[in-house]
Structure 1
Amino acid sequence: MKAGFQSIASPEGQADALDVRRSWHPFTQMQEYCSLPRVQIASGEGCWLTDVDGKRYLDANASIWTNVHGHQDADLNNAIIEQLGKVAHSTYLGLGHEPGSLLADKLCELTGLDRVFYSDNGSNAVEIALKLSFQYFQLTGQPQRRRVIALSNAYHGDTFGTMSLGDCGVFHQRFDPWKFPVERIPAPTCEEFGGEVFSSDMEESLAALDAHFANFGDEVAAVILEPWVQGAGGMLMQPRGYLAEVQRRCREKGVHLILDEVFVGFGRCGPMLVGESEGVTPDFYCLAKGLTAGYLPLAATVSREEIYQAFLGEFGEYKAFFHGHTFTGNPLGCVVALKSIEKLETLIHTGQLADTIEAFNEFYRELRAELPESFSMRQRGLASALDLPAGDASLRRGMHFCIALREAGVLLRALGDSLLIVPPLVISRDEINFLKSALLDTLRCKAYL
């Protein structure tokens, strides 16, 4: 044992001390983080998390938009425990296993597509779709198809290919010299909350897409978008029907359509998958986050048989897709994904998820009635944002508000001055009411009301 090593199980406060001394958190200015009150999570149950001091918090951001059925769900736990009694991991490089095959079949059933390539996070799922599209066109005699069209305010991840696709300002600007060029079209707009659409416009976006197709003809390989809600872009809503119009144009031009449903997939906005609910079958689905209900890192890129067939040939032709991850198709991730999908199908078919979404719609209607017009809001299903009144962004008001909200027993994460409210899909009406009271009380304490 190294000199000076102390176990995490040592006296209270040790985890926080080690966190400050050793950790480097994502999307976090560590100087700021270390100077502010911190929370060390010890356990979770249902929609609640408990810290090392025993304080409980409503997990109102679903552990960064991943949690579906709550923490410590007995069915999901048992699925993992049963698989642990068999094998925790077996490589998918040249070997298969039952959980991976069963999940691939289920994902094909859900998407209407034919082949599944596993990875371990949403960024990689998108990278894979992009590389598959580029290589497909090389293999089919169309190497000039190298352009990609993406939306303004897009976020697809933080690897280099996905940073190129993104349009998130300071998130990725520092790496601009290493990014490849992407054609950009304005995102369509939709004002929606409380189950009601107040305005929407897709014409400008579609006109820009048409112009790019006219200008670049057969040079475009793919169009990629986040359907219905651009999450990291600020919970920006998209008009229903937009997907079908984009798909029609892509089909006419022989261009691949990539749907990044890493955030909205698996019930977040109501349907199992947004594309399927709109009658759209893309060339690629990118899935992660809710795929394993927030339990384990697993992602999937689902594609059409025609694309898969183009990669087949003799070994010496080097048509194979040279891409992989050590934990591709991890059996534990696959079994928990299968069990989560089974439970989610029940939530959808029984109407329980629809009832929860209606309760969340009511929550936003009530917030609108309580808050001044200086607060803006956006919501579809269980994806939403509440914006603090306009002010000096350098004051970090959103972050400080979320820290104050912890005292009321709620965990949120802000994006600038936007409070992103994304609870687990099984949040109850009582918990939604608790969330509303905590928000309003904290707004009053912070003198916003």
Structure 2
Amino acid sequence: MSAELQSAHSEATSVDALDVARCWHPFAQMQEYTSHPRVQIASGEGCWLTDVEGKRYLDANASIWTNVHGHQDADLNNAIIEQLGKMAHSTYLGLGHEPGALLADKLCELTGLDRVFYSDNGSNAVEIALKLSFQYFQLVGQPQRKRVIGLYNAYHGDTFGTMSVGDSGIFHERFDPWKFPVERIPAPTCEEFGGEVFASDMAESLAALDAHLANFGNEVAAVILEPWVQGAGGMLLQPKGYLAEVQKRCRAHGVHLILDEVFVGFGRLGPMLVGESEGVTPDFYCLAKGLTAGYLPLAATVTSEEIYEAFLGEYGEFKAFFHGHTFTGNPLGCVVALKNIEKLEAMMTSGALAETIANFEQFFRDLREALPDTFVLRQRGLASSLDLPAGDRTLRRGMHFCIALREQGVLLRALGDSILIVPPLVISADELNFLKAALLETLQDKAYL
């Protein structure tokens, strides 16, 4: 072994030993994690990540659905470097700054809303929307509006409010005694991949929503949903047009509509924002993940002037929204978000994003032709799922498949037996061909059938 390889191996061993000895990873049974081969990432470039031993991997899940323009994008890097020359952080508690003001103005332009409340992750963005909705109705003399209506199979985060409005089964059920009650309706169904819709139905979901609103509409504060795709639910697709029908019902009953676009926003499904693309202006947009192109933790809850004004008053009235985070409105996050949106708008105008989505649709048509019908495929935009054939979920086939896929130079993460494929928005046709070959090669192992 050369001196260079020995050095790399020594570094890898050191990092891995510290990881095993000291770190606790999210959504991981650590006994399982430490018993399987691990990957320690050292660097990234474009759609690729490189581990501490020098092996390259296609980042086919966009570092858990966040990466937009690839790793080490020069424009995004330079935006952060320029801001670092001025200031890394200044509190947003009682002070403002130019990056925060400019980004807020841009988000209002994109959403058709008027006010931005910053936080640092999607769970907090949703938590803030819920609290704002509840407090708003208290302030305007409708304190009876305490109910929330959400969808089955929803995931909105891991804080207590977001666990309550979500429906994530074993992820959160042990915390049921501490959650607040939520009314649930079935999610509408849609089967789609390769740019074609094969079946869709929203009738059952809308009928259930109508029934809840008829029974206690004046007690409902908000309806919350992930528009078009329930990501952590397994890339479950919704029919287009459903969102407008939900908004119509919310307006008729004076109920807030909260759109959790943490995953689906910023070009992931094609449009900048799903709500805007359907002509829907909700009462709250919850934004994160792709907001900063996967660079820095920043989130935003965007709402209307009407809701904002209900919180205005003399200090002694205690109408203010008592909520905040240490790194609220971090300037580095704001400047990289602004540059990300600028680049995304250029991609949409030039047709580059549409071309990438077309390539991804062809990728899925190719997979459909190559795989038996026992595999279920779902895809919209650059979000997708490849479900392994029905089998014993306790065998952890999805996890073992993703570990085996690393040998082919691909990083993916499974949700049960669903392989979620969510690449950066700049993935090339050649990289998709590489991914397809790696998937099909690994799927030849009968253990995954």
Same fold (TM over 0.5): yes
**SS of alignment partner, residue 148 of structure 1:** strand
State how far apart, in whole Å, the 1-side matches of 2:141 and 2:211 are.
25
Matched, 1:64 2:64: yes
Change (3 A) 1:9 1:336: farther
Correspondence 1:108 to 2:108: yes
Cα pair 1:193 1:378 within 8 Å, conserved: yes
Q: Report the secondary structure of 2:95's partner residue.
A: coil
Partners of 1:401 and 1:446 within 8 A in 2: no
- TM-score w.r.t. structure 1 length? 0.97
Shift of 1:11: 3.9
Assess if the C-alpha contact under 8 Å between 2:296 and 2:333 holds in 1.
yes
Task: Give the aligned residue type for 1:99.
Answer: P
What is the SS of the residue equivalent to 1:360?
Answer: helix
Secondary structure, counterpart of 2:184 in structure 1: strand
Could you tell me which residue of structure 1 aligns to residue 296 of structure 2? 296
1:435 aligns with 2:435: yes
Note the residue ranges of structure 1 that are not aligned, 5 or more in a row. 1-7
CA offset digits 1:226-266 (Å, max 9, x no partner): 00000000000000000000000000100000000000000
Q: Which position in structure 2 is the counterpart of 1:271? A: 271
Q: Give the Å deviation of 1:446.
A: 4.7
Where in structure 2 are the equivalents of 1:63-212 lying within 5 Å?
63-212=63-212
User: Paired residue for 1:4?
Assistant: none
Tell me, what secondary structure is at the counterpart of 2:444? helix
Q: Distance in 1 between matches of 2:152 and 2:352?
A: 35
Whether the 8 Å CA contact 2:401–2:448 is kept in 1: the answer is no
Distance 1:432 1:313 in 2: 55
- For 1:249-308, what per-residue CA distance to the aligned partner results, in whole angstroms no more than 9, with x for missing partners? 000100000000000000000000000000000000000000000000000000000000
Residue 328 and residue 219 in structure 1: after superposition, are their counterparts in 2 closer, same or farther (change >3 A)?
same
Aligned to 1:348: 348
Paired residues for 1:251-270 under 5 Å: 251-270=251-270
Per the alignment, residue 35 of structure 1 pairs with: 35
| Distance (Å, rounded) in 2 between the aligned partners of 1:101 and 1:139 | 27
Q: Give the direction of change, closer, same or farther, for the CA distance of 1:326–1:10 in structure 2 (3 Å limit).
A: farther
Q: Distance in 1 between matches of 2:12 and 2:154?
A: 42
Cα separation, 2, equivalents of 1:390 and 1:248 = 38
Q: 1:9, CA displacement in angstroms?
A: 12
Match of 1:403 in 2: 403
Q: Shift of the alpha carbon at 1:447?
A: 5.3
One-letter code aligned to 1:153: N
Q: TM-score, normalised by structure 2?
A: 0.97
Q: Secondary structure at the match of 1:13?
A: helix
Shift of 1:12: 3.7
Letter in structure 2 aligned against 1:290 = G
- Whether 2:43 is the aligned partner of 1:46: answer no
The answer as to whether partners of 2:128 and 2:301 remain within 8 angstroms in 1 is yes
Q: Helix, strand or coil: the match of 1:58?
A: strand
The total of aligned residue pairs comes to: 442
Q: Structure 1 CA distance, aligned partners of 2:51 and 2:238?
A: 37
- Structure 1 residues 303, 122: closer, same or farther in 2, change over 3 A? same
Alpha-carbon distance in structure 1 between the residues aligned to 2:207 and 2:130 = 24
Alpha-carbon offset, residue 136 of structure 1 = 0.3
Q: CA deviation at 1:10?
A: 7.5
Q: C-alpha displacement at 1:13, in angstroms?
A: 1.2
Identity of aligned residues (%): 84
SS at match of 1:271: coil
CA distance in 1, matches of 2:11, 2:64: 29
2:243 counterpart residue number: 243
1:226 maps to: 226
Alpha-carbon distance in structure 2 between the residues aligned to 1:180 and 1:247:
24
- Checking the alignment, whether the CA contact within 8 Å between 1:119 and 1:299 is kept in structure 2 is yes
Q: Kindly provide the amino acid, as one letter, of the partner of residue 233 in structure 1.
A: G
- Any stretches of 5+ residues in structure 2 without a counterpart? 1-7
User: Is the partner of 2:297 in helix, strand or coil?
Assistant: coil
Question: After superposition, what is the alpha-carbon deviation per residue over 1:385-415, rounded to whole angstroms, capped at 9, x for unaligned?
Answer: 0001111111100000000000000000000
Show CA shifts across 1:71-100 (max 9, x none): 000000000000000000000000000000
Q: Which runs of 4+ in 1 moved over 3 A?
A: 8-12, 445-449
After superposition, the Cα gap between the structure-2 partners of 1:338 and 1:55, relative to the gap in structure 1 and judged at 3 Å, is same
